[in-house]
A and B are shown apart, each in its own frame.
Chain A
Amino acid sequence: MKIRVSTEKEFILNSIVEAITARHKARKEADYGDTIRFGVTELARIYMREVARRETNEHYYYHDQYGLLNEALSRTEQAIQEALVPHRIQFDISELAGLEDELVYPAKELAELGEKLSQAKRVDRIGSKRRLSPTGSIPFEIIEIGLTGFIEGLLIRPLVNTVELNLEEIGAPYTVEGEWFPFQVQVEDFTFVIDDDGTIFISTQNFPPGLFERVREMLWELARRVYTQ
């Protein structure tokens, strides 16, 4: 089974564009409707997290929620507007009344955490993140989840908007279980979880260092087999 999936951000953006286009065709003149609002709010939250976790080498983060929120909303509006250009539809995020009020407290939390993340990265307090571009595969990153020395999970996520997952030719020793996402991939006593945004996860709670490194290798090999160009 080969399945094309998109990242969460790409999926939500496409869903919003499709809904706005359908609305335009149906000439609905009232407000945007709840589905579009839910999507735009979620997309703005994704951008808020992106803005908050800027790479530390930029040595820059927002000290207050308003700067972070404004940049995230501006990026959200721009992404939707750019995707709507072929449809010749204008999108104005300010028409979603109360959106800023809804997001201002999450933005405050993210601004505070962004500053702390920047400090934590400087002293290697949290697990690392590595970008990889193996030959014959798409680029992806491997993220250690947890504090340094206490990594509780490993996650691989593709660094492209859409990716085809090849679940039929993974081959031994990997066994795929489940009829739809999240799929379980079994190897020996380890279970990897492949989800509909292309991520692959394994819990590594209480793994001794030797076993942890072995599982990291297995995860990397699984990603190389699953992700096709």
Chain B
Amino acid sequence: MILIDIDKRDIHLTREEQSLATGSAAREALRPKFLAKMANKPPYQNLGKLHVHEAVIIRMITKYSEQMIYQPLSEMRYWFAYSSGAFIEPGYPPLFYSRQRNKTVSPNKSAVAGIGEGVAGLITQRLYKGKKLARPNHDFPDIVIEAGGKTYLVESKATLSSEPEDIKRTIADELPKMAAYVSSCSQRDTRPVVGLLVGTTIISETNYQCYLIEVTV
């Protein structure tokens, strides 16, 4: 079983904030001003935990990820075995991965990204009762979901870190882009449009921490 702890933050954008988001895409100087306004929005709140079987994650990765990956959960277990020092023991590969001075050993990035996309899809299905409308090909956002007459634009980020602040920063950096896009889509679409930034930290082979920012205009 995999345990996913979910924290969520709701950000509603005023007209002025939408303009700032759009402007910050063109002018870097507006970005800190926009992010400062976002810092005053309500903080994260814990929504509780999801307990899901590995088979569910595997199915969601197949459905939502565009990474060509084979057995990403096994990749993570292999990485955690390495990073916990097990490879020094007999029975493991006798390889010395850090051969070069400036090269550090890292987990399979495609596997991490794929798990993030699968978890983002799982959470939008479970929390919003959403159904996949599209999986844009190498485009923004990663996933488009329809739920309750609304269109949800979902962007996923994932990392393997013991420091949860890393992924919070990563999705906060995506906020101006998502805010500008939600604002633009809302003006042109007949359905209400909502942005969802989903950041997943893979803490261990059985524990994920997920941060969710819901952007509305």
User: Which residues in A have some Cβ–Cβ distance to B below 8 Å?
Assistant: 8, 11-12, 15, 19, 22-23, 26, 28, 30-31, 33-36, 38-39, 41-42, 45, 102, 106, 178-182, 184, 186, 191-193, 195-196, 201-203, 205
Contact = CB atoms under 8 A, between A and B. Distances in A.
B217 interface: no
Residue in B59, B60, B126, B188 whose Cβ sees the most chain A Cβ within 10 Å: B59
B144 interface: yes
Contacts of A195: 59, 63
B55 A202 contact: yes
B134 A42 contact: yes
B175 interface: no
A38 B134 contact: yes
Per DSSP, are chain A's interface residues mostly helix, strand or loop, or mixed? mixed
A28 B131 contact: no
Nearest to B130: A196
Given A23-B190, A35-B144, A180-B125, A42 B55 contact: no
A81 to B, nearest CB: 20
A12 B133 contact: yes
B129 interface: yes
A41 B137 CA distance: 10
> Do most interface residues of chain B lie in helix, strand or loop, or is the interface mixed?
mixed
B126 A35 contact: no
Contact of A35 (B52, B53, B129, B191): B191
B177 interface: no
Given A182-B59, A184-B52, A202-B55, A39 B188 contact: no
Contacts of A178: 52, 126
A30 B137 CA distance: 24
Nearest to A28: B190
Nearest to A26: B190
Nearest to B141: A38
15 contacts: A15-B146, A22-B190, A23-B190, A26-B190, A36-B189, A38-B133, A38-B136, A41-B134, A181-B129, A182-B59, A186-B53, A191-B53, A191-B54, A193-B56, A202-B55
Contacts of B189: 19, 33-36
A38 B188 contact: no
